[in-house]
Amino acid sequence: MMLPPGSTIGILGGGQLGRMLAMAAAALGYRCHVFAPEAELPAADVSAAVTRADYADRAALSAFAAAVDVVTFEWENVDPAAVRHLAQTVPVHPGAHSLEVAQDRLAEKQFVEWLGGRTAPWVQVDSRAGLDEAIARIGTPAILKTRRFGYDGKGQARIMAAGDADAAWDAIDGQPAILEAMVKFANEYSVILCRSQDGAMVHWPVPVNLHKGGILATSSLPVPVLVRSQTEAAVALARTIAEKLGHIGVLTCEFFACMDGLRFNEMAPRVHNSGHWTIEGSATSQFENHIRALCGLPLRPTDLVSPQVEMTNLIGADADDWSRFLSDPALHVHLYGKGEGRPGRKMGHVTRLGK
Ligand code: AMP
């Protein structure tokens, strides 16, 4: 069923992804209502309504559910119990299942391997002694990653030699984790797809992603030959993941391009930083197609509008140069309206089409 324009879309989470979702929704005539606990909410600045409450606040969630026509999330660390609570009275897309798999690195890796995907070699780590056993099995260099709440390189510690184990274990506060072999890759890339309520799927041309300090720095196209040779298989895996999850909306799968083939890294059950270039670089942005999927509208084409596209994140103090970016006619500038440019904080991005 198509949700008519004028309806209200609830968004759990209030960051820049919610902000860009709300702007895409507004273009199609929908209103957004943001639910998030933080004082500063970039998404609320451009939304019709906001509920500032904790994700565990059942009364606030119930009132939110009654005020909106469909719910989505822009942040995957929402408690699936909160999503199930909402889903009793209002449709939530994607569903709790997508959330549960994507927010636990162990469940995610098992799920993807079950579907035939290849990941970096990994071992579950639940104790300090378990870490030693894992290092013995995986070898070094390796990366210790918390199972939950990791993003932008947080909740991770590198282990270059067995002697680093104590420091790594302390760095992740002894949380349930996995130890992953450090794989040699030539590039990183992401498959961003959108699945509609009737199961139709579109995917965007695949960008290569450059990370600095665990944080995405740039996403660009065209991609090197090695990545091009792997995209068909990567897209096929991402589509299977979306289908098996019964996922509705945008799903992002990140991959390592290794010389001996692709390795799945991780997924996000949502619009993704590596898809920000789609706002200007594609016939339809990831944000618009996500809104379309939520509202039961047909998805639109995702063709590139320029053979060359580059999105660069403005992180921390980068955004202090806003007047230079805004004065450059070649740049599409997006600033998220965040106050303080703390190190590592995503403040905005710029997209360049063409050379
Ligand atoms: P993640 O949060 O798992 O995406 O990790 C952040 C970044 O760390 C990735 O984008 C890679 O650049 C790097 N990284 C993560 N896992 C591995 C791995 N197993 N081998 C090599 N590099 C990795």
Spacing, Cα 57 to ligand 1 middle (Å): 34
Task: Give the per-residue pLDDT at 211.
Answer: 96
* Distance between start and end Cα atoms, the chain: 43
| Domain shared by 128 and 269, yes or no | no
Q: What is the CATH number of the domain that holds 43?
A: 3.40.50.20
Average pLDDT, the chain: 96
**Which residue has better confidence, 340 or 234?**
234
| Domain shared by 62 and 209, yes or no | no
Question: Percentage of the chain surpassing pLDDT 90?
Answer: 94
Q: Is the CB of 214 under 6 A from ligand 1?
A: yes
Domain limit, last residue, from 181, 196, 215: 181
What amino acid occupies position 155?
G
Spacing, Cα 324 to ligand 1 middle (Å): 32
Task: Give the per-residue pLDDT at 214.
Answer: 86
pLDDT tens digit sequence for 224-245: 999 999 999 999 999 999 999 9
Q: Ligand 1, closest atom to CA 142? A: 19
CA distance 277 to 320: 21
Task: Give the per-residue pLDDT at 76.
Answer: 84
CA distance 232 to 262: 11
| Domain shared by 19 and 146, yes or no | no
Q: Quote the pTM value.
A: 0.96
Using left for φ > 0, alpha for ψ between -120 and 50, and beta otherwise, residue 304 falls in beta
pLDDT above 90 (res 118): yes
**Cα atoms in the Cβ-side hemisphere of radius 13 Å centred on 155:** 15
> 58 lies in which domain range?
8-92
88, part of any domain:
yes
Task: Give the per-residue pLDDT at 339.
Answer: 86
pLDDT tens digit sequence for 53-84: 999 999 999 999 999 999 999 998 888 899 99
pLDDT above 70 (res 152): no
CA distance 100 to 32: 24
CA distance 157 to 140: 12
Q: Tell me the pLDDT band of 273, cut-offs 50, 70 and 90.
A: very high
Between CA 339 and CA 146, with CA 192 as vertex, the angle to 5 degrees is 65
Spacing, Cα 16 to ligand 1 middle (Å): 23
Residues linked to residue 157 through DSSP beta bridges, in sequence order:
144
SS3 of 161, please?
coil
Task: Give the per-residue pLDDT at 221.
Answer: 98
Compute φ and ψ for 146, nearest 5 degrees. Answer: -65, 145
CA distance 162 to 175: 19
Q: Ligand 1, closest atom to CA 105? A: 3
CA distance 129 to 133: 7
> How large is the average pLDDT for residues 34-57?
97
